Amino acid sequence: MVLFQGQFEAWITLDRPDGAKREEYGVEVDEQRKLVTCWIASEVGKTFQVCWKSLMPTSFHCEGELFLDGHWVSGKISFAHDDFSTIVHHYYLTSSTTARPFMFSSFEVTDDDVYLSTNYSEDVGEIRLKLNQIKLGEMMVPCRQLNPPPMDRKVHERSKKMMAHRVGFGEEMATSTKWQKTFYIETLVTFVFKYRNLGKLYPTYLSTVTVLIAIFWLAMLKAIGVVQSSPEPRLQALEPPRVPRRPVEQEYCQDGEDDEDDEEEKVLLVSTFTRHPLITPAKYLSSIILQAKLAEVRAKREKRDPHRSRKKVKKEDTPVEMNFNNLPGGIIDLTYVSGWETLEA
């Protein structure tokens, strides 16, 4: 569920045995605009309800107006002093005695160019709930026959608004309701649930979360001195801290604990320096964490033996000649394994 100023909360549930609430992702609250937005996962063929309630006693009447894909579909009233009651929107009234439940559906796709220029609402893919302060009017006579809004239209396969899911309606069912006229005073808050199928929702959400986590960990590592700021505005992982050389005769005077540290350092070095040169936020974060672990291992070993130097790889000065004539087709595959790479911002 999502909250606004600790006064109102709203959530969406699916019609299934567990009656579970939909988990919200990427919740954002705009106090100035009185707007709360989030993302939820939709499931084709599942009917759903939109629920809300006030968490504090109110001295005024409140109305919830529900819009699905930009179309008004329902209005419900929470009366003054009716504290903590949950209001549920779960169907579109087609008459005074019948209604059709809300249901997640899939788009009907066509390649007919007639539908290419069709204008669709900018709110496609959104469930919007507006909570308004109202004044009550007189009771109304039962409504006449109403047709559901045109939410099942075809969409062209190249449409900019092409998405996997939309909101539709289930089979008609019997119901009874009362009608009352209301007068609008002001909008208290608007909740917007942006729904997507699970396959599209997770990449959208996780990519944002990964970047935020990377920024957070980079700031933390800079604060403790493991990673230092680069003078240029780009992503960059610095070389691990160096330790002073020690005499050659001490090179192989290792105890068992040093050997364990060496093995751990080797594993970390292999993990660190085989990163792909095209650094994504996830790979960059992984590299930073590995770099921190590597620095921790070396610092622990240096604390025990401050004069111990790091092992060096022996370099050969003799040039190596290769006979390309013996290669099939005269082709050789040279794989370049990069160390720390930088990605221009």
Using the 3D structure, point to which of 183, 198, 213 is the last residue of a domain: 198
Same domain, 37 and 166: yes
* 261 within a domain of the structure (yes/no): yes
Same domain, 234 and 179: no
Same domain, 29 and 164: yes
Strand boundaries in the chain, DSSP class E: 2-4, 8-14, 25-30, 35-42, 48-54, 61-68, 71-78, 87-89, 91-93, 98-106, 109-110, 126-140, 155-156, 165-169, 173-174, 179-197, 234-235, 343-344
Same domain, 279 and 142: no
* 211 within a domain of the structure (yes/no): no
Boundaries of domain holding 52: 2-198
Question: Into how many domains does the chain fold?
Answer: 2
**DSSP bridge pairs for 77:** 63
How do residues 177-228 score in pLDDT, each as one tens digit?
A: 778 889 999 999 999 999 887 655 555 555 555 666 766 767 777 676 655 5
Same domain, 39 and 133: yes
* 328 within a domain of the structure (yes/no): no
Average pLDDT over residues 18-30: 83
> Residues 118, 112: contact at Cβ < 8 Å?
no
Same domain, 181 and 48: yes
Same domain, 115 and 34: yes
The DSSP 8-state label assigned to residue 24 in this structure reads: P
How many CA atoms, within 13 angstroms, populate the side-chain half-sphere of residue 344?
A: 0
The DSSP 8-state label assigned to residue 157 in this structure reads: T
φ, ψ of residue 82 to 5 degrees: the values are -90, 70
How do residues 278-322 score in pLDDT, each as one tens digit?
A: 445 555 556 666 666 777 777 777 767 666 665 555 556 666 555
Same domain, 186 and 249: no
Distance CA 223, CA 236 (A): 16
Distance CA 8, CA 85 (A): 11
DSSP 3-state of 136: strand
Same domain, 34 and 151: yes
How many helices (H) and strands (E) would you count in the chain? 3, 18
Same domain, 102 and 25: yes
How do residues 86-101 score in pLDDT, each as one tens digit?
A: 999 999 988 888 899 9
